[in-house]
Amino acid sequence: MNKKNLREQILEIRKSLSVDKVESYSDIIMNNLITSELYKKATNIMSYVSFNNEVNTHKFIKKAIEDGKKISVPYAIDSKNKIMMSCLIDDISELVPGYFGILSPDPNKLKIIDEKSIDLVIVPGAVFDISGYRIGYGGGYYDKFLPLLRKDALSVGLAFSFQVIDKVPFEKYDIPVDFIITEKDFIECEVRNA
């Protein structure tokens, strides 16, 4: 099955989840994340801001700020070349509706940070495989952003368990994540072990 069909099939299942299921699964996933060594060791975290039926990151962002972590979120600065920056926020209430209605930093108040300062990136995706490869939403923003990080920075994909399959098709420019956290599993990806 090609990327487009896989994405559509899995997103259709995700779309059918009730609000209660999304919230309860998201709470389990977030608890698995914040109790992990990945989170405890990180001081500067970039997280996607969830929308639709994605694993909800809003509570996570609030909790990380409460815990004294530096939190940044993505801001697309060049949609033609699929380039995004990481922008520091002090509170989730600073975010405003942006591209596709996704909450984003206010373009008039951007606090862009150096991607080399990031310890941990929380990555969205439609489909992941156990090797860490992912199918996003077709933009390629994260595949361009992740290589800019320090070599010791880590990436974590958040997904519901049905979004993780054995193998997704990937290209040479696709960048895998190091870990995947679902409501059932904490996966150290095979590519990381290679």
Tens digit of each residue's pLDDT (9 = 90 or more) over 148-190: 999 999 999 999 999 999 999 988 888 999 999 999 999 999 7
Tens digit of each residue's pLDDT (9 = 90 or more) over 132-141: 999 998 788 8
Output the pLDDT for position 192: 55
What is the C-alpha separation between 148 and 49, in angstroms, rounded? Answer: 20
What is the C-alpha separation between 164 and 126, in angstroms, rounded? Answer: 9
Output the pLDDT for position 76: 81
CATH topology of domain 3-193: Rossmann fold (3.40.50)
Output the pLDDT for position 110: 93
Output the pLDDT for position 1: 78
Identify which of 86, 187, 92, 185 has the alpha carbon closest to the alpha carbon of residue 145.
86
Q: Give yes or no for residue 99 having a pLDDT over 90.
A: no
* pLDDT > 90 fraction of the chain, expressed in percent and rounded: 81
Q: Give yes or no for residue 83 having a pLDDT over 70.
A: yes
The pLDDT mean for the chain works out to 93
